[in-house]
Structure formats: structure tokens, C-alpha cells
Amino acid sequence: MRIIIIYHKFRETTGNLVLMGINGTTLASLKRGQKGTIAAVNAADPQVQRLMVLGLVEGAEVELAGAAIGGDPMEFRLFGTGISLRQEQARHFSVSADELGD
């Protein structure tokens, strides 16, 4: 049920299905060591819904711990645990950046 509510809130706010982020900031655009809070989620993709079950939901604080050569996949710290996402998946999560990293 929560997935549907977040999705509709996003759709009403943006009017489309492509999540561009607040001021263009998504998980994919964070720099190494930078922290942010998830502000919105585009839950249209079933893979994104699975990630939400792991805790990637509105209000969750995340930090980019690092990325592989070429930037894909990216490793994030979430609730003290590491989780790796492809950039394509990370673009579905809009964040408000908290602080700059390295």
C-alpha cells in the first residue's frame, strides 16, 4: 500500500513518470562520501519496489560509500549496511543532499 501512495504523490507533483529529482539530485548524482535523505521514489519499476522493501524509502538517510570503475555499480550505506545499485536504479530515487563528501 505504501508503494502506491508514494507513486501517486510523485505523479501528482511532477506530472510524468521520469524522476528527475529535486534540483536534479538523485542517488546516482551523489559524490563519494556525500550523504542525503530520500525525498521521493519513482516506484513504477518492479525492481525499485524490491529496493524499497530493503529500506530505500522516503526519509531514509543514505551515503555513497563508493563506486566501481566507471561508476557502476554504486555502493550506498543505509542503516549501517552496504547496498549496491546500478546507476539506472539509483536514478529512481530523488534525494536532498545533506553534506559534501570527498
Is this structure's pTM higher than 0.85? no
Rounded Cα distance between 85 and 81, Å, is: 13
Cell numbers linked to 68: 566501481
Q: What is the pLDDT of residues 10-25, one digit of tens each?
A: 444 444 344 444 457 8
Residue 82 belongs to what domain range? 2-99
Read off the CATH number of the domain in which 95 is found: 2.30.30.90
Inter-residue long-range contacts of 64-69, CB under 8 Å, 24+ positions, other chains counted: 64/27, 64/30, 64/31, 64/32, 64/33, 64/34, 64/101, 65/32, 65/33, 66/32, 67/32
Q: What is the pLDDT of residues 69-82, one digit of tens each?
A: 888 899 999 999 99
Q: What is the pLDDT of residues 28-67, one digit of tens each?
A: 999 999 999 999 999 888 899 999 998 999 999 999 999 9
Question: Can you say whether residue 15 is alpha, beta or left, with left for phi > 0 and alpha for psi between -120 and 50 degrees?
Answer: left
* Count: domains in the chain: 1
